[in-house]
C-alpha cells in the first residue's frame, strides 16, 4: 500500500519569530505546505516562501473561516493543521510516519498539546489538552466558536497518537493579557450573537469554575508559580468575557449603542 499524502495547513499573521520552527517541524512528515496569510506586515511571508510556494493572501475572516479556507487550498485529502506557535515533537513526527501507510484505518487523529509558558513547560494546567489536528477533509472540517476553533469529525473513530504538539504560547504575562483582551472581545460577541442567557452572577460563577478546574482538578499547583498565574489569568479571561457581554447588553438597553 502506498503512503498517504498529507497537506499541512497553516494560517499566519505577523509570525516572523515563530513560523519557521513550525514549518521545519512539518517538513519531514508532509507532502505539501499551504499557508494562508492575513496580510502580514513583517517577514512572515518571506520566511514561509522558503518552505512552500502555496501561499495565499486573505484578510482575516475569523479563525474557523480562515482555517477552512486553508484546507480548501490543499491538494490532498489528509490535512495536518498547526498554528504558527506550535511544532511537532520528534516523538509525534515518528508517530505520524508510522501510521502513514495505514492512515485510512481511522477518520482522524488526536494529539496532546503541551504549552511552554514564559519560562517553563506546563505539565498540568493546560496538559494534555488533546486536539484533533490530523484529519480527512472529506469527513471533517473546522468548526466551533471563534476564537476557540476545533476540528469537527463526523464519527467517533479518532485515534490518539503518541507525542506532543509543542505550543510556544506566551513569551510574557503582558502578551497573555493583550491576547486576553482580544479573545474576550471575540468570545463576548459570539455569546451575544447566540443569544445565550447571562446574568449578574455569570462572570463570577464561570470564572470561579475555571480557576478550580485548572488549579485544583488539573493540578495546576504542580506547575509552580507559572501554574498560579495561568489559573488566575484564565479566571480573569472568563470573568472579563462575561462582564463584557453584560455591559454590552446594558448599554443596548440604555440606548447607548
Q: What is the torsional sign of CA 130, 69, 44, 48?
A: positive
Task: Enumerate residues 6+ apart whose C-beta is below 8 A from 214.
Answer: 125, 126, 220, 227, 230, 231, 234
Q: Rounded to whole angstroms, how far apart are CA atoms 222 and 57?
A: 43
pLDDT of residue 47: 98
Give the model confidence (pLDDT) of 61-114 as tens digits: 999 999 999 999 999 999 999 999 999 999 999 999 999 999 999 999 999 999
For residues 146 and 64, the answer to whether their CB atoms sit within 8 Å is yes
Location of C-alpha cell 468570545: 187
Q: Rounded to whole angstroms, how far apart are CA atoms 109 and 153?
A: 10
**Of residues 114, 115, 149, the one with CA closest to residue 132:** 149
pLDDT of residue 1: 54
**Of residues 131, 74, 97, 85, the one with CA closest to residue 27:** 97
pLDDT of residue 68: 98
pLDDT of residue 147: 78
pLDDT of residue 180: 97
Q: Pick out the chain residues at pLDDT < 70.
A: 1
Task: Enumerate residues 6+ apart whose C-beta is below 8 A from 99.
Answer: 105, 109, 159, 161
| Region of residue 250 (left: phi > 0; alpha: psi -120 to 50; beta: else) | alpha
Amino acid at each position: 500500500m502506498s503512503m498517504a499524502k498529507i497537506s499541512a495547513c497553516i494560517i499566519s499573521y505577523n509570525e516572523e519569530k515563530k513560523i519557521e520552527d513550525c514549518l521545519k517541524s512539518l517538513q519531514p512528515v508532509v507532502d505539501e505546505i499551504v499557508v494562508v496569510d492575513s496580510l502580514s506586515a513583517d517577514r512572515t511571508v518571506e520566511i514561509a516562501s522558503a518552505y512552500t510556494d502555496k501561499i495565499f493572501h486573505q484578510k482575516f475572516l475569523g479563525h474557523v473561516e480562515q482555517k477552512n479556507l486553508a484546507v480548501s487550498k490543499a491538494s490532498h485529502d489528509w490535512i495536518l493543521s498547526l498554528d504558527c506557535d506550535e511544532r511537532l515533537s520528534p516523538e509525534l513526527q515518528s508517530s505520524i510516519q508510522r501510521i502513514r501507510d495505514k492512515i485510512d484505518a481511522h477518520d482522524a487523529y488526536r494529539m496532546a498539546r503541551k504549552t511552554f509558558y514564559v519560562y517553563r513547560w506546563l505539565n498540568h494546567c493546560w496538559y494534555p489538552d488533546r486536539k484533533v489536528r490530523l484529519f480527512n477533509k472529506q469527513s471533517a472540517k473546522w468548526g466551533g466558536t471563534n476564537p476557540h476553533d476545533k476540528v469537527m469529525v463526523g464519527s467517533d473513530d479518532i485515534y490518539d497518537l503518541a507525542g506532543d504538539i509543542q505550543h510556544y504560547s506566551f513569551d510574557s504575562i503582558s502578551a497573555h493579557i493583550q491576547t486576553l483582551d482580544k479573545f474576550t472581545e471575540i468570545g463576548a460577541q459570539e455569546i451575544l450573537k447566540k443569544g445565550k442567557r447571562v446574568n449578574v452572577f455569570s462572570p463570577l460563577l464561570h470564572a470561579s469554575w475555571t480557576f478550580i478546574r485548572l488549579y485544583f482538578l488539573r493540578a495546576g499547583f504542580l506547575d509552580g508559580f507559572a501554574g498560579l498565574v495561568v489559573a488566575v489569568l484564565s479566571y480573569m479571561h472568563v470573568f472579563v468575557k462575561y462582564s463584557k457581554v453584560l455591559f454590552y447588553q446594558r448599554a443596548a438597553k440604555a440606548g447607548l449603542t
